[in-house]
Structure 1
């Protein structure tokens, strides 16, 4: 084993976003609560793309909204350039949100259908009194004509074009961090590739830091410097994209990789690596939350929750029986 410690640590790089022990839960009736995010920690270095991946209901989108304080987490810390966002209220929080913008999963419903494209992109500058001179630049930067497209309304555009508008709306305020919450999952495969290429180009042009969330590990790996795997509100594994594919250590990560078409990258069939359906986040299993679906689970997996430990250079896993660890 290469060592142990807290999973948010990164060997090198200027950290712009630091998340520690993030907890988000919701009332579920009868005195119960939905444990959506339970103690997630990670760092994002300036200029990198951190991917977050997992099945539907794993807590990745809830994590994204908690970064924006929508709503604020019940516990934990979110720091942007050292500023504790969970402690901010009112105008101070609104001002900080200029530096942390979000793109949503459904590009059509996230846009006001009654407003013209130029007005949608210019909404932020009108509120903040800054960035109005960047509206046409942003419309053009996302691949739309600022003359012809700007006067049309969202219903006149395809889903991919609407997502371009959403990206322009987010970038016009010159954010440092762009949170992409499943930005291509509602789009056709060919359009997905176009939007991913656009995001990569804009990242370089405007020196952005990205948090990219998706349920498709193949997509996340291709656009991310590092990938964080979540399951039922917990972090399972954190590693560079190539490392995660070549040496997956957590049984859940291996199952996600095995489910990718084209043979599952040489892994056994997914149904040999994962079984059944995810348990309820209202009553998660004791110990390791993946143990009820894991063929490798043993008594220790029910008795104690595994902690994130380092098993390689910038490779962390929360598992009592990780693959390939000493």
Structure 2
């Protein structure tokens, strides 16, 4: 399980999260709802090992996280993949879509052009797009590349932080289907963060709301 326990995050004097706990189970989709500005993205970054909390603990399949970002052990870093709401802020604008997808494989010393191409196709990217750079494609096409990149190292958990916001309905449905196919074949756990309650009602096995964490109907 991917677990946050009593997590507190402060930005200066402002407390963004105060003693929050959340569990993401393997093989299931946990939906995280809440109003804009309530700290959903902050919690997503904590769970993805991108942000060290001021207090509380995070564990990945029983292993306590003691270091964060690039200082975390590779096995923990690659166990959790984060999909951002704004793909243009998550990629190097100098890279082509193929290079973006292949970047984690290359960094791990596991370069595999065939796997990168297969992931691109699964995400719905046609060959004519793969040599383009971010400014040459739409937000939806770039987010498809980001989903393919997130799956490249076969993470045990996927943290999807509003990954379908501002995308058209067909792209949204396709990306959710790609994540669902990966979850079903790998047994990965998924945290789906969204302000769209209708999407979470269709997608998640269990939903919680940030701000008291009252349970929503499964």
**Which residue of 70, 74, 88 maps to 2:67?**
88
Are residues 1:236 and 2:213 paired?
yes
Instruction: Decide whether aligned partners of structure 1 residues 138 and 206 sit closer, same or farther in structure 2, where only a CA change above 3 A counts.
Output: farther
| 1:42 and 2:22 matched | yes
Report the equivalent of 1:138.
119
C-alpha distance in structure 1 between counterparts of 2:181 and 2:51, whole Å = 31
Aligned pairs for 1:207-222 within 5 A: 207-222=187-202
Q: Which residue of 70, 75, 94 corresponds with 1:114?
A: 94
Shift of 1:81: 0.6
Taking the TM superposition and a 5 Å limit, the aligned residue runs for 1:8-19 are 16-19=1-4
Alpha-carbon separation, structure 2, partners of 1:177 and 1:215 = 20
Larger radius of gyration: 1
Q: 1:153 offset after TM fit, Å?
A: 1.6
What do the CA deviations read for 1:109-168 (whole angstroms, capped 9, x no partner)? 3222221111111111111112525211211221223x4332122223222111110001
TM superposition shift of 1:40: 1.1
Distance in 2 between the 1:99 and 1:236 partners?
25
Give the CA RMSD over aligned residues: 1.8
Q: Where does residue 304 of structure 1 map in the other structure?
A: none
After TM superposition, the runs of 4+ consecutive aligned structure 1 residues lying more than 3 A away are 89-95
Q: Tell me, which stretches of 5 or more residues in structure 1 are unaligned?
A: 1-15, 28-32, 242-326
Secondary structure of the equivalent of 2:214?
strand
Q: Are 1:98 and 2:78 counterparts? A: yes
**In 2, Cα distance between equivalents of 1:66 and 1:129:** 26
Residues 1:51 and 2:31 are matched in the alignment:
yes
Deviation of 1:171 after TM superposition, in Å, equals 0.6
Deviations 1:228-274 (CA, angstroms, capped at 9, x unpaired)? 1012xxx3312443xxxxxxxxxxxxxxxxxxxxxxxxxxxxxxxxx
1:219-298 mapped onto 2 (5 Å cutoff): 219-231=199-211, 235-241=212-218
Q: TM-score, normalised by structure 1?
A: 0.62
Name 2:10's counterpart in structure 1.
25
State TM-score, norm by structure 2. 0.91
SS at match of 1:236: coil
Residue 74 (1) aligns with residue 54 (2): yes
- 8 Å Cα contact 1:160-1:195 kept in structure 2: no
Other structure's SS at 1:71 match = coil
1:95 shift after superposition: 3.7
Contact kept? 2:124, 2:144, Cα under 8 Å: yes
Q: Provide the rounded CA distance (Å) in 2 between the counterparts of 1:58 and 1:168.
A: 29
Instruction: Work out which structure has the larger RCO, using CA pairs closer than 8 Å and 6 or more positions apart in sequence.
Output: 2
Q: Structure 2: which 5+ runs fail to align?
A: none
SS in 1 for 2:88: coil
Number of residue pairs aligned between Structure 1 and Structure 2: 216
Q: What secondary structure, in the 3-state scheme, does the structure 2 residue paired with 1:51 have?
A: strand
Distance in 2 (alpha carbons) for counterparts of 1:72 and 1:209: 21
